[in-house]
Structure formats: C-alpha cells, structure tokens
Amino acid sequence: MYKRNLTVATAQKKGNHEGMRRKIVAGNWKMYKTVSEAKELAKALKVRLVNEVRKLDVVVIPPFTDLLAVAEILRDSGISWGAQNLYWEQKGAFTGEVSAEMIKSTGATYVIIGHSERRQYFAETDETVNRRLKAALAADLTPIVCIGETLPQRQAGHTLEVLETQLRAGLAGLNAEQLRRVVIAYEPVWAIGTGVNATPEQAQEAHQFIRQLIAQMAGDGCADEIRIQYGGSVKPENARSLLSLPDVDGALVGGASLEADSFAAIVKAAV
C-alpha cells in the first residue's frame, strides 16, 4: 500500500518523489483577456520562458475566443495551451457548448474540468465532471480535473472525505492507463482568488491523501506517475514553499497568471 509519512520539512529536503514526475504549471486566465490582450501576454511569456519549457510543462488556458490567436503565437514555443471547459457530446444542437474535437482543432492539448467556479456558478457536479473527463480522454486531450473543499467543509473536518467523494465519482470507470493521463488539481475553494493559500502542511496532507487514494483505485504505479497540482492563491512569494513539497507536482494559477512577470516567476520557482 502506497504510504509516505514524512514531515513537511524532511519531505521538502527530499524533494518531489525523487524527480520522477515532470512538473506542470498552468495558468487559468478565467474570463479575462480580449484577443489583443491575450496575444500580448502570450508573446511576453514566450520570451520569458524559453529555457524553462525544457525542464517542465508550461500551459496557458485562455478563454475559448483567444485559443487560435494564442496558438499562432505559442506554436513551437514549448508552451502548451488548453481550454477551460468542454461539453461531452461530439457535435449537435447544443448552443453555446464546445466539444473536445473543436478544442483539439486549435492545437490545444489540455482542458480544465470541474473548476470550482463551474461547480459553484454553473451547476457542475461530479457526474458531469466524469462525462467531460471521458470525452477529453477519448479525444486525447490531457484533462486537469479540479477538486477541493469549501471553507465550511474544512472547518467541519470533512476535507478528506470531500476529496474522496469528488475523486471516486469524478474518476469513476477509468482504468489505470487512462488515470495516468489525468492531471489532478487540488484547489481548496477557500484559497481560490482570496489571497489566502493553503499552508505547506495542509497542501501536503491533501496531496498525499489523493495519491494514496489513487493507489487504492489504480495501483502504486499509477499513483507514482499521476501529477497533482496545487491551486489557490499561488504567487511568486509562496510558490517555492508549495512547489517543493513531495506530492505537489506543479500549480494551477489563476490571478497571478494574468501578468507575464508573476506567471514567469512562478514557473521559475517550480524549476
């Protein structure tokens, strides 16, 4: 059974699972950036991250309307791009929705699924997360599946239980080969956009728990390989302490990804 019981200090010294997993830092631009603003940001990142893209995966996740413009700039840069959501049907009369193939046709390779803002404002559930996830995998997109507890859930001592429910339902029906291709983002809802990040202890506890659960669901090999990002008020100032934790394989960054300097500084901290 997969188990690691290190203190955070020992674990930080020991490093990210002996360097087996390639780190991944993704910037979620949410509903920000017109096409011209998106182009400007993509150009600035391309210049700043020339060396880093060789050492870790860097992904930008703009609104749908910016994908093609960003693709033109980032093609051959080593920076990948993705979408913030998808619909599970392949095509049809689903006004306002975007399919996995449509996203892929922009050259995108990633898609966020089940972000807490979608769960909170757009009635996303673990069941719809699961349907979107299967559609993403079928189209060979790398899904970034977001899970995380609210503040009342944490205060009531239910954090691990909430994570388990979201993971078991969200990832239901996937085999180990499919699970390996998933990126999980642990994003405590109370830390998103608030400026209050999880402490390294809180983050490590949650990430270690998620990895142990993946081991139960799909075996130790899969648990060793699957990448788990932390998200929630990651900034250049706290990036190093969070990204050096043994079970933290990168970051999903919101606000700080909207400026080239701060996103580049986080990526550099991950290296």
Q: Which residues bind ligand PEP (CB under 6 A)?
A: 28, 30, 187, 192-193, 231-234, 252-256
| Whether 225 is catalytic | no
Query: For residues 6 and 12, what is the distance between their CA atoms, to the nearest angstrom?
Result: 9
8 or 253: CB nearest ligand PEP: 253
Q: How far is the CB of 115 from ligand PEP (least distance, A)?
A: 6
Q: Taking a C-beta distance cutoff of 8 angstroms, is the pair 22, 56 a contact?
A: yes
Calpha distance 122→132 (Å, rounded): 14
Shortest distance in whole angstroms from residue 224 CB to ligand PEP: 25
Collapsing DSSP to helix, strand or coil, 254 comes out as coil
Least separation in angstroms between CB 99 and ligand PEP: 23
Reported residue count of the chain is 271
Give the nearest residue (CB) to ligand PEP. 254
CB-wise, 10 or 194, nearer to ligand PEP? 194
> Quick check: is 187 catalytic?
yes
Q: Choosing from 115, 117, 124, 207, which is the catalytic residue?
A: 115
CB 78 to ligand PEP: min, Å: 22
Cβ within 8 Å of residue 227, ≥6 positions away: 21, 22, 23, 24, 183, 184, 249, 250
Please state, in angstroms and rounded to a whole number, the distance separating the CA atoms of residues 110 and 169. Answer: 21
**Nearer Cβ to ligand PEP (149/187):** 187
Q: What's the N-to-C CA distance of the chain in angstroms?
A: 30
Closer residue to ligand PEP (CB): 87 or 190: 190
So which residues are the catalytic ones?
115, 187
